[in-house]
Chain A
Amino acid sequence: MCKISIQGLTHIYNYGQPGERVALQEINGEISPGELLAIIGPNGSGKSTLARHINALLLPTCGSVTVDGLNTADPASRWEIRRRVGMVLQNPDNQLVASVVEEEVAFGPENLGLPPEEVRQRVDRALSVAGLVEQRLRPPHLLSGGQKQRLAIAGALAMKPSCLVLDEPTAMLDPAGRREVMQTLLNLNRQDGLTIILVTHFMEEAVLADRIWVLSGGRLVMDGTPAQVFRCREALQKIGLALPGPAELAWRLRNCGWPIPDGIYRLEELVTCLVDLLTRNRSGGSS
C-alpha cells in the first residue's frame, strides 16, 4: 500500500538566482493508504508544485517527501517511487505518445522489460478498468476528451501503481467527460483501494474526497473532511475559493433562520433536507 509522508516541505523555484520564487512553505502532512485526498486552492497557491513532489518530478528545496519510506531525494529510489506513484496531467495531449490506444497503455510496462504475456494482461486489465476496451485499436487523437483522460489513467494503471496523482484531470473536459473520469477514479479508490490525490478547482469534485487539503500562498491552511472544510465559508472566500453550490444555498437559507443542519454540501443531501422541511411546513401550516 502507499503511505506518503511530507515533512517541512519548502520549494523555491530558481533558488539563489534572479526570479527566485517561493512556491511551497513548510508543508507537513501524511496521506494514508487507500485515501482519496483532494487538494484545492487558488491559482498559484502551489497545488501543482506539491503534486509534482509526490512522484519526484520536483525535489524539495528543504524538508522531505517519502513514499512508503522511500525518500524522493534519493536518486536510487526515484524510479521505484515513479512506478508506485502514477501521474495524470491536466491536458491528456501532453501525455499521450502512441498511435494506437493499447500501445499507449503498453508503453510503460514494455519499458519495464516485462514478458509480453504480462504486458498483455496489464493492458487488458487497465483498459477494462478505464472503460476503453472497445476503443483499444483506435488512434488516441480521435478519442473524446474524457476518453483521452481515461486513457492517460489507463497508461498510469498499467504500471500497477499504488497511488495516482491527478493534476486537474477534468479542467478541460465537458460535463459528461468529467463525470466519466470522476466515476473511474471513485471505482479505483473504493473497489481497488488505490490511494488517489486529486488536484482540482471543482468544489463538486472535492466533496467526493475523504479529506481535503486547502493551499493558499504555498501553505497548507486547512486539512479536514469535506464537512469540516466547507463549514468555513468565510475563510474559503477570503482566499478565493467558494462553497459547492448546494452548500452555498444551504448556508444562505440557514442564515435566514431555516433549520438546515451543518455539513450539507451535496445536492442529494440538500434535496432530502428541503423536501423534509417543506412538506412538514406545508402540512403543518406554520413556518
Chain B
Amino acid sequence: MILVEHLTHIYAPGTPLALTSLEDVSLHIEEGEFVVLAGATGSGKSTLVQHFNGLLLPTAGRVLVGGRDTRDKKVRRDLWRTVGLLFQNPEQQLFEESVFAEVAFACRNLGLDEKTVAVRACRALEMVGLEPDRYRALSPFALSRGQQQLVALAGLLAYQPPVLVLDEPTSGLDPAAREHIWQLLKKLQQAGHTVVVITHHMEDAARFAGRVVVLHRGKIYRQGTPRQVFSDPGGLRAVGLDVPMPCELMYCLQQKGLPVKSGIITLDEAELELKNLAMG
C-alpha cells in the first residue's frame, strides 16, 4: 500500500541549517496492516509519515502510495482521499467555527450531499466518544486539548480514507479515551483500513500493533512483531524508549532468579504466567 524506497529527507538542504531527518529509509506497509512507529523525539517519525500523503517530498528516494509516486503533482492532489493524516497538535489542524463544520469539512470536499455529510459527521463524533448533540455547535477552540484531538480524529473518520496515519493520537487523552481510540483503530483495521500510528505508549503498541518499527536518528533501528521488538529492553532504552510495563516486570523477576518465560508483553500474559509459576 505504501512503499518507501531509500527515502532521504533533508530540511533546508544546501543551507547552514541543513538537517538530515531521514536517511535511506526503506519500508513497505501492506494493505490492512496495523503498524506502530516508535522512536525518540527527533528520530524522524513525523517526517516519515508526512511523506505518506505528500505533505513532504523526498530529497532522495521515493514513496509510492498504491503504486503511485507522491512526487507526481497529479497524484498528490488526490492523495488526501487515500491517506488521512492526523497531526500531532490538533490546534494545527482545526480551523472551522463549529465542531460539526470541522468534522464535515473533508466529507464536503468529497462532494457528498449535505444529508450524507451530516450522517457521516455525527457518526464519526459518536465513534470517538463525543455526543453529537452536545458538541456539534461548540467552537473547537472552546474545547480542552484532549477533546480537540478527538474532534480532529472524527474529521478523519468521517471521510474514511483507506489509510489512516495518526501522529500521537492519544497524547493528552485520559486512560479511558486512550483505550477507546486504540479499540476503534483495531476495529477499523479489521474492517480493512490500513492503520499507521506514531506513539510513545509502548503498552498500547504491544497490545494492538501487528508490526512495530523503531526509528533512531533517521534510520530504521528495529522492526518486527511487538514480541520481537520488545525482547530487547536494553537496546530500546539505549535509543530513548521503554518496554511495556509487563515486559519490564518479567525482566525484573528473571533477574531475581525466578524461571519466568520470556516474550511476555501484555498485562494479560503477565497475569497468566504468574499464575502458571505459582502452580509450579
Residues 245-277 (chain B) with a chain A CB within 8 angstroms: 245-246, 248-249, 252-253, 256, 258, 267, 270-271, 274-275, 277
Cβ contact of A175, chosen from B88, B242, B280, cutoff 8 A:
B242
Q: Which bucket holds chain B's interface residue count?
A: 35 or more
**Across the interface, do B174 and A174 meet the contact criterion of CB distance under 8 Å?**
no
**Across the interface, do B240 and A174 meet the contact criterion of CB distance under 8 Å?**
yes
Query: Would you call A57 an interface residue if the criterion is a C-beta within 8 Å of the partner chain's C-beta atoms?
Result: no
Contacts of A44 in B (CB 8 A): 143-144, 146-147
Query: Would you call B145 an interface residue if the criterion is a C-beta within 8 Å of the partner chain's C-beta atoms?
Result: yes
Query: Would you call B110 an interface residue if the criterion is a C-beta within 8 Å of the partner chain's C-beta atoms?
Result: no
Tell me if B's interface is mostly helix, strand, loop or mixed: helix
Surface stretch bound by A, among B53-61, B74-82, B165-173: B165-173
**Across the interface, do B277 and A278 meet the contact criterion of CB distance under 8 Å?**
yes
**Across the interface, do A242 and B171 meet the contact criterion of CB distance under 8 Å?**
no
Report Cα–Cα, A203/B241, bound state, in Å. Answer: 18
**Across the interface, do B174 and A240 meet the contact criterion of CB distance under 8 Å?**
yes
Query: Would you call B175 an interface residue if the criterion is a C-beta within 8 Å of the partner chain's C-beta atoms?
Result: yes
**Across the interface, do A175 and B144 meet the contact criterion of CB distance under 8 Å?**
no
Q: Contacts A242-B176, A249-B267 given; indicate if A270 touches B142 (C-beta within 8 A).
A: no
Q: Scan B121-145; emit 1 where CB is below 8 A from any A CB, else 0.
A: 0000000000000000011001111
Cβ contact of A245, chosen from B39, B142, B200, B267, cutoff 8 A:
B267
Contacts of A249 in B (CB 8 A): 246, 249, 267, 270-271
Q: Which residue of B lies closest to A256 (CB)?
A: B275
Task: Tell me, rounded to whole Å, the shortest Cβ–Cβ distance linking A22 to chain B.
Answer: 13
Query: Would you call A201 an interface residue if the criterion is a C-beta within 8 Å of the partner chain's C-beta atoms?
Result: yes
Query: Would you call A159 an interface residue if the criterion is a C-beta within 8 Å of the partner chain's C-beta atoms?
Result: no
Query: Would you call B93 an interface residue if the criterion is a C-beta within 8 Å of the partner chain's C-beta atoms?
Result: no
Cβ contact of B145, chosen from A90, A178, A242, cutoff 8 A:
A90
Q: Which residue of B lies closest to A141 (CB)?
A: B17
**Across the interface, do A253 and B277 meet the contact criterion of CB distance under 8 Å?**
no
**Across the interface, do B253 and A172 meet the contact criterion of CB distance under 8 Å?**
no
Q: Scan A165-184; emit 1 where CB is below 8 A from any B CB, else 0.
A: 00010011111111000000
**Across the interface, do B271 and A253 meet the contact criterion of CB distance under 8 Å?**
yes
Q: Scan A13-35; emit 1 where CB is below 8 A from any B CB, else 0.
A: 11000010100000000000000
Q: Contacts A13-B142, A144-B41, A242-B176 given; indicate if A248 touches B274 (C-beta within 8 A).
A: no
A-B contact pairs, 12 of them (CB 8 A): A43-B144, A48-B144, A144-B41, A245-B203, A245-B245, A252-B271, A256-B275, A267-B249, A271-B256, A274-B253, A278-B277, A287-B278
